[in-house]
Amino acid sequence: MNIIQLRDTLFRGGIEVLLLDVCKNGKTKGLNFFVVTFNEGDLVNDFIENGIEVIKIKRNKPIDLKVIKELRKIIIEKNINVIHSHQALEGLYAYLATRGLNVKNIISHHGSVYPIKDKLVMKFLIKNVFANIAVSNSYLKRLKEEESFNTKNNFHVVYNGIDGSKLEKADGNLKNELILPKNSLLLGMIGNFNNSGRDQFTICKVLPKIYEKYNNVNFVFVGGWNNGPASSYKKCYEFCKEKGILDKTFFLGKRSDIGNILKSLDIFVYSSNHDTFGIAVVEAMFCGIPAVINDIPPMLEISKNGEFAKIFKSKDEDDLYNNLSQILDSEELRQNLSFDSKEWAKSNFSIDLHINNLAKIYRS
């Protein structure tokens, strides 16, 4: 079966890394993937090095008739059975390029909040494509209740998949890189500062109290930032500077060695304003890192209502402090969470399970 994964850009991000893992591992399931992109990005070479053909179609304007024509030509020449897109513009191009062809159009819904133009496009596409995929049950509910999408008929929930073998190969040497004492405990969060999605500031506010109580604790924030109005990096950095805790709080920026980061942590902490799945949390579980996460619906879903992670009330720094104290005070609790959450993640969020579920939809 020949499938196109259609992506606007291939810059490193959660969706792009997932697509790379799907394309790499899909071959064993009889799925032959091509990647078509309108722009390049820093992950292009990763796809190519793994034997995945990447085809670039230059787009000069939002709706470019030449792109539709060229995409249609590729679909016919490569004998494509399925075209799988991941945002509104991609989905629209896929829909227009496949008119009259026996090709299944599938859209995965990853995003958190749809701009008005994308929302209108999606409302049209949802009822006109072969299948829609939501990355969690909680996000499917949000699409219905907050975006007013009709999710009754052709929607499926397919959890994102983690390539555990990739994480297992990582070294976990971040403590050496930061020149931390051997007895130090390293806590951390992975998530960009670029928009309002993540909530690093609640974590920042609790750090002075944590450092006062536990002098061997350090914290790392991993994720990129920009100078846009929605970026929270400056607010977080200035707070930590004002409190005099920059010697124990590290802002590492964007990193590609996520496995190394995770395997270096003793506890993973995650705070989010809104989310759809929480792939960084599941990756931490795969690495056996006990997690402390906030109580928004997707986090409750991936942790089975807190059975496999410690849960704190969103924006409540006191509750976060209490949960962190409990897990820092109990090595037994950390070990139990480490083992149980890893088994849970492997059973429910593996890349093999993800690809099997995709294949069922592709072949249905």
Grade residue 332 by pLDDT with cuts at 50, 70 and 90.
very high
Q: In this structure, are 224 and 247 located in the same domain?
A: yes
pLDDT in tens, 56-68: 999 999 889 999 9
Q: In this structure, are 297 and 355 located in the same domain?
A: no
For 338, the token pair is 């480490």
pLDDT of residue 229: 65
Q: Which of 96, 114, 91, 90 is nearest to 37 (CA)?
A: 90
Q: Where are the beta strands (DSSP E) in the chain?
A: 2-7, 32-37, 53-56, 82-85, 104-109, 131-134, 155-157, 185-190, 217-222, 249-253, 267-270, 291-294, 310-312
Q: How far apart are CA 221 and CA 250, in angstroms?
A: 6
Grade residue 77 by pLDDT with cuts at 50, 70 and 90.
very high
DSSP 326-352: HHHH-HHHHHHHHHHHHHHHHHHSBHH
Q: In this structure, are 110 and 125 located in the same domain?
A: yes
Grade residue 169 by pLDDT with cuts at 50, 70 and 90.
confident
236, 219 contact by CB (below 8 A): no
CATH number of the domain enclosing 289? 3.40.50.2000
pLDDT in tens, 121-133: 999 999 999 999 9
State residue 190 phi and psi, 5-degree precision.
-115, 125
pLDDT of residue 166: 87
Q: In this structure, are 326 and 359 located in the same domain?
A: no
| Residue 171 pLDDT > 90 | no
Q: How far apart are CA 241 and CA 70, in angstroms?
A: 52
Q: In this structure, are 336 and 187 located in the same domain?
A: yes
pLDDT of residue 111: 77
Mean pLDDT of 256-282: 95
pLDDT of residue 337: 98
Q: In this structure, are 172 and 321 located in the same domain?
A: yes
Q: What is the spatial order of strands in the sheet that 131-134 belongs to? A: 53-56, 32-37, 2-7, 82-85, 104-109, 131-134, 155-157
Q: In this structure, are 33 and 129 located in the same domain?
A: yes
For 198, the token pair is 């993540």
pLDDT of residue 172: 85
For 186, the token pair is 């390293």
267, 320 contact by CB (below 8 A): no
Residues 6+ apart with CB under 8 A from 165: none
Q: Helix 331-348 crosses helix 317-329 at what angle (to 10 degrees)?
A: 100
| Residue 195 pLDDT > 90 | no
Tokens 């749809």 appear where? 114
Q: In this structure, are 156 and 290 located in the same domain?
A: no
Q: How far apart are CA 109 and CA 302, in angstroms?
A: 17
The C-alpha angle 337, 343, 349, rounded to 5 degrees, equals 115
Q: In this structure, are 180 and 120 located in the same domain?
A: no
Distance of CA 83 to the CA centre of its chain: 21
pLDDT of residue 112: 63
Domain count, the chain: 2
Give buried/exposed letters for 314-323 (b at 16+ CB in 10 A, else e).
beebebbbeb
pTM of the model: 0.91
Mean pLDDT of 8-32: 93
pLDDT of residue 194: 82
Mean pLDDT of 14-21: 92
pLDDT in tens, 284-301: 999 999 999 999 999 999
Q: How far apart are CA 289 and CA 262, in angstroms?
A: 7
Distance of CA 5 to the CA centre of its chain: 17
pLDDT of residue 196: 80
Domain containing 334 equals 165-348
Q: How far apart are CA 107 and CA 335, in angstroms?
A: 39
Amino acid letter for position 175: K
Residues 6+ apart with CB under 8 A from 215: none
Q: In this structure, are 151 and 177 located in the same domain?
A: no
Q: Residue 6 forms beta bridges with which residues? A: 36, 85
For 172, the token pair is 């976990």
Q: In this structure, are 22 and 152 located in the same domain?
A: yes
Which one has a higher pLDDT value, 201 or 171?
Answer: 201
pLDDT in tens, 210-252: 999 999 999 999 998 887 766 699 999 999 999 999 999 999 9
Q: How far apart are CA 16 and CA 222, in angstroms?
A: 18
Q: In this structure, are 80 and 210 located in the same domain?
A: no
